[in-house]
């Protein structure tokens, strides 16, 4: 343990990063924490691309995974009174299948084609919501009617895309948003589901040997940002109505889809 801490300190002491690095890292982690706690992760897909401005992709992946697992665990505690376990179980089973598929086919996949499909679905889903809203076809929150086959299918795609492209929130949102859940239930379900999905990534990513003393040092440095972001996100959630919550979440879904297209094709 002493050797680990000594090596960790030596690694961190060799950092020579600018103020821009720390401001960008702060913004990246804050966006994800606020999004996970307040809006079910809708804007969280923007966190990794922000950090890509200052770190290589593999380093960002290694830095973010432990942070995201910690965020998910904390958000579960914050929203622990609002889960709907039937939905969570179906989503976790689908997500696990998708993770295994992503791991098994990792070397055979065309990432750009998959991202194009996911981004297109995100954009179409969000645009359809606002078109229906314009036509006044959006009703008030009614009794929950869940198609568990669709839930399993979309969650499988979520786990798959999360593993290969860090874009698992989009398929999960496509399944959950039409259910018109109360915002507390929505965020709670997303929190439980993504804690499971992200935690099960750890052994797969460990096999890729991307965790280093450098990535661990950066992760530990960024951990204190998490609590403030999570509680600010919860505060934002409590200040908006279900109506505006769904407006904001669909806008976030649209932005995530656009972000994926820009990231991969421009």
HEC-encoded secondary structure of 3-71: HHHHHHHHHHHCCCCCHHHHHHHHHHHHHHHHHHHHHCCCCHHHHHHHHCCCCCHHHHHHHHHHHHHHH
Chain mean position to CA 20? 24
Cβ atoms of residues 69 and 222 within 8 Å: no
pLDDT reported for residue 133? 81
DSSP-based three-state secondary structure for 136: coil
The set of residues, in sequence order, having a beta carbon less than 8 Å from that of 73 and lying 6+ positions away, is 195
pLDDT reported for residue 151? 96
The set of residues, in sequence order, having a beta carbon less than 8 Å from that of 206 and lying 6+ positions away, is none
Q: Which residues of the chain have pLDDT under 50?
A: 2
pLDDT reported for residue 14? 55
Q: How far apart are the first and last CA of the chain?
A: 45
Query: pLDDT tens digits, residue range 106-165?
Result: 767 665 776 677 778 778 888 988 888 887 665 555 556 789 999 999 999 999 988 876
The set of residues, in sequence order, having a beta carbon less than 8 Å from that of 174 and lying 6+ positions away, is 121, 122, 125, 154, 253
Chain mean position to CA 68? 8
Q: What does each C-alpha distance from 223 to 13, 30, 69, 74, 106 come to in angstroms?
A: 18, 10, 11, 12, 30
The beta-strand segments (E) located in the chain are none
């Amino acid at each position: 343990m002493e050797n680990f801490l000594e090596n960790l300190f030596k690694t961190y002491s060799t950092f020579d990063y600018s103020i821009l690095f720390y401001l960008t890292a702060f913004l990246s982690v804050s966006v994800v924490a606020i999004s996970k706690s307040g809006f079910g992760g809708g804007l969280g897909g923007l966190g990794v691309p922000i950090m890509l401005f200052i770190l290589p992709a593999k380093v960002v992946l290694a830095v973010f995974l432990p942070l995201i697992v910690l965020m998910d665990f904390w958000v579960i505690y914050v929203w622990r009174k609002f889960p709907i376990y039937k939905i969570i179980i179906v989503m976790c089973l689908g997500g696990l299948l998708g993770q295994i598929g992503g791991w098994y086919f990792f070397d055979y996949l065309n990432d750009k084609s998959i991202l194009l499909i996911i981004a297109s679905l995100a954009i179409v889903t969000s645009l359809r919501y606002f078109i229906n809203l314009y036509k006044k076809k959006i009703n008030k929150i009614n009794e929950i009617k869940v198609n568990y086959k669709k839930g399993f299918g979309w969650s499988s795609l979520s786990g798959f895309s999360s593993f290969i492209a860090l874009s698992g929130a989009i398929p999960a949102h496509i399944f959950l948003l039409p259910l018109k859940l109360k915002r507390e239930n929505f965020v709670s379900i997303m929190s439980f589901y993504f804690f499971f999905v992200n935690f099960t990534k750890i052994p797969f990513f460990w096999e890729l040997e991307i965790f280093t003393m450098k990535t661990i040092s950066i992760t530990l440095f960024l951990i204190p940002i998490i609590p403030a972001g999570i509680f600010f996100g919860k505060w934002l959630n409590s200040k908006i109505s279900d109506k505006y919550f769904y407006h904001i979440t669909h806008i976030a879904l649209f932005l995530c889809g656009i972000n994926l297209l820009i990231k991969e094709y421009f």
